[in-house]
């Protein structure tokens, strides 16, 4: 087994040189920026060759593999002899209707990115309420990952009813000193650990916003995985909001794309802004087909992923408790969705290197890339763990053994 994995590691290194090219190789030797590209190829090669892994996202596949996968399943969701879409008709319109029906909304519009979909939604609501202020969490996607786009592009202003690592409570919404036109809730709140409130808490927060005459928009990029926690169907969850955005590549494994769902009049206005923002693409059938495939293939399995994530998280905690690490945290425990965080008191580079070497040397990929904490003291790092179909076969013992092998490589 060890010899086989040594051979795989050597082959992976050869692939790195082929894919990154001589320039990346020079970057490694010189410590230049291209070393990051080569390190990324190394990580992907290690994850691809792992016999056991908790999740195999499509992004780890080659172009050929992704095209082959789409070709194999596309015929199950659409008539491939029909004409291709042009500017959003055809298969794109089929997907839009599917989303509107699934979420119980009057209409839905396809967008090339979730950032654009959400920008448009919040801009439209600002015009309708007459208030350009959006209340959201400081860890919400627009605040952390969009380079200030709400203010720079759409002229919106953001305020934060809470800075706690959770969504705001109903009382915090009622007591917030500033008026706002829209309350945006990210479900789940990814950067806080994919956390969700209880169902009754979510209902109360929405009601508190209504009392202030504010509309409610859900950032539901990962709304798909919220149903097990809430014990409600997607349409019942979406019914709490005035509009909902969902992603097709997060959770569902689509190539790209998103949808905005809500009242018919809002979606018609959103289509206008989509065109103005440059989102009226000529053809989008690969993304639309992959989204339909994801809805059929992944959506029915999400409850099993969430259940298994709780098993994995518990076993990780047991494994780290038995290990030599001085401190750890699995957050939240148990997970609210099929994704959660793990925190350790080591530098991110050392943790990532240990994870990659474990995959290369043992064929077991327990963790992916680690990141330094931006809020805590130096030397604290975290990673995001996703459990999907590939992780369903793991037993608690498998996880504990993998933790031991990972810690050994931390030196």
Q: Are residues 91 and 45 in the same domain?
A: no
- Distance, in Å, from the CA atom of 399 to the CA atom of 405, rounded to the nearest integer, reads 10
Q: Tell me if 343 is assigned to some domain.
A: no
**Model confidence pLDDT, tens digit, residues 285-325:** 999 999 999 999 999 999 999 999 999 999 999 999 999 99
Q: Are residues 148 and 44 in the same domain?
A: no
**What is the average pLDDT value for the chain, to the nearest integer?**
92
Q: Are residues 118 and 163 in the same domain?
A: yes
Q: Are residues 118 and 263 in the same domain?
A: yes
List phi, psi (to 5°) of 154: -105, -5
For position 377, what pLDDT does the model report?
Answer: 82
Is the pLDDT reported for residue 83 higher than 80? yes
Give Dmax (Cα) for the chain.
67
Q: Are residues 97 and 174 in the same domain?
A: yes
- Distance, in Å, from the CA atom of 29 to the CA atom of 313, rounded to the nearest integer, reads 38
Q: Are residues 259 and 137 in the same domain?
A: yes
Is the pLDDT reported for residue 17 higher than 70? no
Q: Tell me if 376 is assigned to some domain.
A: no
For position 368, what pLDDT does the model report?
Answer: 97
Residues 6+ apart with CB under 8 A from 363: 1, 4, 5, 8, 49, 50, 51, 52
Of 252, 269, 297, which one is at a domain's C-terminal end?
297
Q: Tell me if 317 is assigned to some domain.
A: no
Partners of residue 259 on adjacent β-strands? 110, 246
At 400 the three-state DSSP class reads: helix
Q: Are residues 34 and 126 in the same domain?
A: no
Q: Are residues 136 and 32 in the same domain?
A: no
**Model confidence pLDDT, tens digit, residues 128-156:** 999 999 999 999 999 999 999 999 999 99
Confidence of residue 238 (pLDDT cuts 50, 70, 90): very high
Residues 6+ apart with CB under 8 A from 395: none
Q: Tell me if 409 is assigned to some domain.
A: no
Which of 69-73, 95-99, 340-344, 375-379 is least confident? 375-379
pTM for this model (two decimals)? 0.90
Of 297, 331, 360, which one is at a domain's C-terminal end?
297
Residue keyed to tokens 């720079």: 152
Cis, bond preceding 332 (omega within 30 deg of 0):
yes
Q: Tell me if 8 is assigned to some domain.
A: yes
**Where residue 100 sits, what CATH number does that domain have?**
3.40.640.10
- Distance, in Å, from the CA atom of 331 to the CA atom of 369, rounded to the nearest integer, reads 17
Helices 302-322, 396-408: inter-axial angle, 10-degree rounding: 50
- Distance, in Å, from the CA atom of 308 to the CA atom of 364, rounded to the nearest integer, reads 18
Q: Tell me if 32 is assigned to some domain.
A: yes
Beta strand pairing status for 133-135 and 182-186?
Answer: parallel
For position 340, what pLDDT does the model report?
Answer: 98
Q: Are residues 287 and 151 in the same domain?
A: yes
Q: Are residues 139 and 234 in the same domain?
A: yes
Looking at the structure of the chain, the number of domains it has is 2
Is the pLDDT reported for residue 381 higher than 80? yes
Confidence of residue 20 (pLDDT cuts 50, 70, 90): very low
The predicted model gives 162-188 an average pLDDT of 98
Q: Tell me if 345 is assigned to some domain.
A: no
Q: Are residues 144 and 270 in the same domain?
A: yes
Q: Tell me if 63 is assigned to some domain.
A: no
Q: Are residues 18 and 124 in the same domain?
A: no
For position 21, what pLDDT does the model report?
Answer: 39
For position 254, what pLDDT does the model report?
Answer: 96
Of 262, 297, 332, which one is at a domain's C-terminal end?
297
**Which residue segment(s) compose the domain that 172 sits in?**
82-297
């Amino acid at each position: 087994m060890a010899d086989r994995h040594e051979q795989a590691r050597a082959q992976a290194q050869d692939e790195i040189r082929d894919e990154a090219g001589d320039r990346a190789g020079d970057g490694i030797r010189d410590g230049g920026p291209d070393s990051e590209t080569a390190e990324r190829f190394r990580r992907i090669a290690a994850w691809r060759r792992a016999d056991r892994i908790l999740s195999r996202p499509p992004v780890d596949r080659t172009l050929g593999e992704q095209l082959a996968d789409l070709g194999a399943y596309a015929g199950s969701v659409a008539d491939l002899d029909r004409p291709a879409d042009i500017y959003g008709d055809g298969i794109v319109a089929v997907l839009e209707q599917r989303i509107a029906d699934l979420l119980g909304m009057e209409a839905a519009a396809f967008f090339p990115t979730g950032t654009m979909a959400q920008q448009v939604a919040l801009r439209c609501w600002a015009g309708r309420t007459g208030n350009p202020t959006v209340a959201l969490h400081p860890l919400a996607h627009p605040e952390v990952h969009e380079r200030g786009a709400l203010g720079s592009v759409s002229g919106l202003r953001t305020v934060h009813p809470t800075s706690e690592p959770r969504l705001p409570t109903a009382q915090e919404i009622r007591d917030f000193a500033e008026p706002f036109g829209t309350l945006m809730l990210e479900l789940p709140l990814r950067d806080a650990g994919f956390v969700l409130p209880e169902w009754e808490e979510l209902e109360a927060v929405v009601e508190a916003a209504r009392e202030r005459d504010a509309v409610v928009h859900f950032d539901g990029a990962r709304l798909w995985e919220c149903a097990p926690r809430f014990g409600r169907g997607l349409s019942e969850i979406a019914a709490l909001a005035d509009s909902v955005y969902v992603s097709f590549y997060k959770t569902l494994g689509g190539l790209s794309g998103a949808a905005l769902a809500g009242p018919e009049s809002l979606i018609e206005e959103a289509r206008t802004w989509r065109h103005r923002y440059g989102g009226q693409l000529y053809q989008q059938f690969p993304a639309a087909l992959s989204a339909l495939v994801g809805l059929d293939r992944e959506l029915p399995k999400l409850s099993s992923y969430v259940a298994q994530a709780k098993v994995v998280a518990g076993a990780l905690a047991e494994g780290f408790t038995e290990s030599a690490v001085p401190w750890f945290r699995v957050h939240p425990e148990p997970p609210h969705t099929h994704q959660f965080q793990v925190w350790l008191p080591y530098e991110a580079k050392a943790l990532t290197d240990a994870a990659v070497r474990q995959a290369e040397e043992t064929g077991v990929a327990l963790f992916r890339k680690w990141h330094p904490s931006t809020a805590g003291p130096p030397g604290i790092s975290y990673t995001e763990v996703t459990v999907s179909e590939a992780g369903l076969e793991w037993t608690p013992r498998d996880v504990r053994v993998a933790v031991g092998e990972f810690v050994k490589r931390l030196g």
